[in-house]
Structure 1
Amino acid sequence: MLNFYAFPLECVCCIIILLISIWTILEWLLSGRGGKVYLSWRYINIVLYVFSLFLILKMTILGRTVGNREIELLPFYTINTISDNSEAVRMIVMNIILFFPLGLTMPIALGRVKNTRRKWLLCIIVGLGISLSVEIIQYYFCIGIAETDDVICNTFGTLLGVMPNILANYFGKQRKC
């Protein structure tokens, strides 16, 4: 697998925008339909959700070499170093992008739920839990710097991923009125 983090940031953003556009068109075409079409769309999102979990593990844990045990608990430390650190913006954006697909696919993978707000909140909490688990594993096994900023950015990425579902739900209700 190519090292996604090594791609130019502009290229990564273009790829993400293209993939979001494709997903949004498919969501618009398939989610409003009932029966087998919706079920197929849900299964596609389950597969994409599992793939995004694998991608998160691949980028954050698997294949990393053992180094020093490091931890950075100061929130927004990376943001505060932007003026001195040319890679800070890239790290922030990549951490957000890494968890975006998780938030995008999880609400549909979970299926139709009566209380959609709870489902959205659950998705964000799961994103937070996965991110926190990754940071704990990185710290425990000395395979990366455990950073509070990573948890914040990853959770924000999950939230941004859930947003299209929230907007689709809102505009779907507006259309029915």
Structure 2
Amino acid sequence: MAIPLYLTTIEQDIFDTFRYLPHAVAVGVGFVTVAAAWKNRQMIKKQKRLEHAHAVPGTQLLLWFLVAVYFAMMLSITLFSREPGSRTGVDVKLFETWGNQRLPDRYFVENILLFLPFGVLLPAAVPSLRKGWCCVYAAFSTSMMLETVQLLTERGYCQLDDVVTNTFGAAVGYLLFVLLRHIWKKRKSSAFL
């Protein structure tokens, strides 16, 4: 009986974050508009002598959009949804948030889920992050920056567990990205046969 309640609580927390989605979508649209215009301008400059300059592919625009939406959601969840000064403290004890209480365990799992899209979307959108260690290091660095900003603005507890679980979530996401990419390549190559 406790496990369904536990999962329901996590599910409710995830659905609660959807209230940030309209703002995140607006950020994504703005980002993609500016990024596509800049990228197209750069491509036109490089290809002045050619008759046709190629626009940014639709798939790339979609990936940029999803990354921008993801980062806007992540910042809303971890920083902007909290009042400055509402949370203070540093906790460097590993697995301090995991225990017999339901709430800390829930936060532990939710931190893993928060960075799962990082490991899937970033390598898909940014070719230089397609190496596993690059993606995981980028996730670690991003998590460290978030924890530092939370500490400085007192919008969240600065916890070692958050960095570990965020990085682990991105690593799991990266493995999912590798699996999906392998399936995509296999399906694409069999389509040509």
TM-score (norm 1): 0.68
Tell me which residue corresponds to 1:69.
Answer: 88
The answer to whether the Cα contact below 8 Å between 1:69 and 1:140 also exists between their aligned partners in 2 is: no
Give the secondary-structure state (helix, strand or coil) at the position aligned to 2:124: helix
Query: Aligned residue for 1:40?
Result: 58
What letter corresponds to residue 158 of structure 2 in structure 1?
A
* Cross-structure match for 1:31: none
TM-score, structure 2 as length reference = 0.63
Greater relative contact order, per chain length (Cα 8 Å cut-off, separation 6+): 1
Corresponding residue of 2:9: 8
Q: Does 1:121 align with 2:133?
A: yes
- Please name the residue that 1:134 is paired with: 146
Is 1:105 the counterpart of 2:121? The answer is yes
Question: Number of aligned pairs?
Answer: 142
Q: Who is 1:162 aligned against?
A: 174
Select 1:90's aligned residue among 97, 106, 126: 106
Which deviations, in whole Å up to 9, do the C-alpha atoms of 1:95-142 show, x marking residues without a partner? 11111112111111014x6x94x3x32221111111111101111121
Larger gyration radius, structure 1 or structure 2: 2
Identity, in percent, stands at 23
Using the alignment, how far apart are the partners of 2:9 and 2:95 within structure 1? 23
Q: Which amino acid aligns with 1:50?
A: A
The answer on 1:54 being equivalent to 2:90 is no
The runs of 5 or more residues in structure 1 that have no matched partner are: 1-6, 15-35
2:164 matches 1:152: yes
- For the aligned residue pairs, the C-alpha RMSD in angstroms reads 2.8
- Cα deviation, 1:19-68, whole Å, max 9, x if unaligned, reads xxxxxxxxxxxxxxxxx9x9322321211111111111101111311135
Alpha-carbon distance change, 63 to 11 in structure 1, aligned in 2, over 3 angstroms: closer
Deviation string 1:70-119 (CA, Å, 9 cap, x unpaired) is 0000111112xx21x211221011111111112111111014x6x94x3x
2-structure distance, mates of 1:131, 1:107: 17
SS of match in other structure, 2:155: coil
Structure 1 residues 136-163: Cα deviation after superposition (integer angstroms, max 9, x where no partner): 1111121211000001111111111111
